[in-house]
Chain A
């Protein structure tokens, strides 16, 4: 396995300029839609994207989370929200078309050419990231700009980030850097600062975060997990239950043969003229 590459997002540096949001749209040639979910619901006319979500034409966005604390006062927690590129992605397992592949440098790549828009991945994803796009009848999600990375460039969001909150590089190096940064933040006014993405979902997510507060203050799931319904479906129903069908077919085929063999034998002994269908 090649050395893992990823983005590190430092929430203490993000100014919510949303340059990454624009650069992503630009790079992926997606239209700007100002009444969409990234402003917290259709057409609410504000820039509050607290409950906003990515959509089929918006692969990344900045979420605003306002928190109030008696000690710290009011704080704005900005979070860059996109596909986490899980190290062990469930979307890859549920996809019946094999549209998902894990690139050797860590990107969870979704091939829209193979996608048939069944949306199994949308409902399996612990972050609900893949979104259905009606005009192409496929789902879309962050590509980690695999085509730019292949050319030795950075993802569009990392390239454009003015305050340097998004950094692209080798995951092990970024993780070292994140640990140092969290240590610094903890003694400089952010005692609950933490790393997100290192161990989440057991094996971790490829994308890494430095959070100035606990994940729930950023609207991130504290303990992301694959739903039981999905595990039962994928680990039990899909691989094993289907074998019951050939058993039923085999039993019918067996009966077809034995019943005719027995009927023929009876005919020999008893000399039945009429086809004995009783």
Chain B
């Protein structure tokens, strides 16, 4: 059984994510998971989970440190990589029939059936959904989290609302992350996507097949001619 496809540098490859996007993604991954498991200790009232972090106080400390690193990383990366953020948002707004087609046919592909999916832009319909839901939830988590950290300076009603907003945003973000982590690695249909985020490049033939519109616009003959 193959977990993820082999990384091959003997075939033509194209860049998918630059160094800033990749480092932000992985720092966010680590801090999100630290926050998730330390937070779940309190949410599930799970002593066995808290013990891993040295009890509930230790878990609370790890939760806060990870939250600071996460907030600083995301905000810094958004400032430095503002061009990339805009390009990403623009791609999200290109939500068209091809994305609806993707979302309708994807459940079959998800289970492993072969289906014909319409050509996709840089982010396919499912990635667009993830790109909209997860960051929104992470921003809600950050805002409500910082309110909960210093409750006495806020209006008490806002603190009470932050408690359930933090919980719901955590649940929705975790749902997206559990799907995203699987689809970005072990799902056979996703193939090269893991290498796109790990090494930064994907196989050109894979890009052309999975993200036809993006490939043609960025690396296609017309784009090459314009670049020259």
A residues lining the B interface (CB < 8 Å): 96-98, 116, 118-120, 122-124, 128, 132, 137, 227, 229-230, 232-233, 237-238, 241-242, 244-245, 247-249, 251-252, 254-256, 258-263, 266, 275-278
CB-defined contacts of A122 to chain B, threshold 8 Å: 151
How far does the Cβ of B27 sit from chain A's closest Cβ, in whole Å? 23
CB within 8 Å of A: which B50-86 residues: 56-57, 60
How far does the Cβ of B35 sit from chain A's closest Cβ, in whole Å? 15
How far does the Cβ of B116 sit from chain A's closest Cβ, in whole Å? 12
CB-defined contacts of A124 to chain B, threshold 8 Å: 160
Main DSSP-derived SS at the B contact region: helix
Which of B42, B156, B167, B189 has a CB less than 8 Å from the CB of A118? B42
A252 vs B113: C-alpha distance when bound (angstroms): 15
Against A, the Cβ 8 Å flags (1 = close, 0 = not) of B185-228 are 01111111000000000000010011000000000000000000
* Interface contact A276-B188, CB-CB below 8 Å: yes
Answer whether residue B138 sits at the interface, using C-beta atoms and an 8 A cutoff.
Answer: no
Closest to B158 in A: A229
Chosen A-B contacts, 28 in total, with CB atoms closer than 8 Å, are: A96-B42, A96-B43, A96-B45, A97-B56, A116-B56, A116-B57, A123-B156, A128-B156, A229-B157, A230-B160, A233-B167, A237-B164, A237-B168, A245-B174, A247-B175, A248-B175, A251-B179, A254-B111, A255-B182, A255-B187, A258-B111, A259-B111, A259-B112, A262-B113, A275-B5, A277-B191, A278-B189, A278-B206
* Contact (A123, B159) CB under 8 Å given A233-B167, A245-B175, A278-B209: yes
* Interface contact B43-A242, CB-CB below 8 Å: yes
A255 vs B181: C-alpha distance when bound (angstroms): 13
* Interface contact A232-B164, CB-CB below 8 Å: yes
CB-defined contacts of A255 to chain B, threshold 8 Å: 110-112, 182, 187
* Interface contact A277-B160, CB-CB below 8 Å: no
CB within 8 Å of A: which B154-183 residues: 156-157, 159-161, 163-164, 167-168, 171-172, 174-176, 178-179, 181-183
- In the complex, the 7 A-B pairs of residues with the closest C-beta atoms, listed nearest first: A259-B112, A277-B191, A229-B160, A233-B164, A262-B112, A252-B182, A248-B175
CB-defined contacts of B45 to chain A, threshold 8 Å: 96-98
A229 vs B161: C-alpha distance when bound (angstroms): 6
Closest to B191 in A: A277
CB-defined contacts of A276 to chain B, threshold 8 Å: 188
* Interface contact B2-A275, CB-CB below 8 Å: yes
* Interface contact B167-A237, CB-CB below 8 Å: yes
CB within 8 Å of A: which B9-61 residues: 42-45, 56-57, 60
Which of A227, A247, A256, A261 has a CB less than 8 Å from the CB of B160? A227
Which of B60, B178, B192 has a CB less than 8 Å from the CB of A245? B178
* Contact (A229, B151) CB under 8 Å given A242-B44, A245-B171: no
* Contact (A261, B112) CB under 8 Å given A252-B178, A277-B191: yes
A147 vs B222: C-alpha distance when bound (angstroms): 83
A183 vs B77: C-alpha distance when bound (angstroms): 71
How far does the Cβ of B191 sit from chain A's closest Cβ, in whole Å? 4
A241 vs B209: C-alpha distance when bound (angstroms): 38
CB-defined contacts of B178 to chain A, threshold 8 Å: 245, 248-249, 252
A275 vs B1: C-alpha distance when bound (angstroms): 10
* Interface contact A277-B5, CB-CB below 8 Å: yes
Closest to B113 in A: A262
How far does the Cβ of A265 sit from chain B's closest Cβ, in whole Å? 9
* Interface contact B164-A229, CB-CB below 8 Å: yes
* Interface contact A256-B163, CB-CB below 8 Å: no
A252 vs B186: C-alpha distance when bound (angstroms): 10
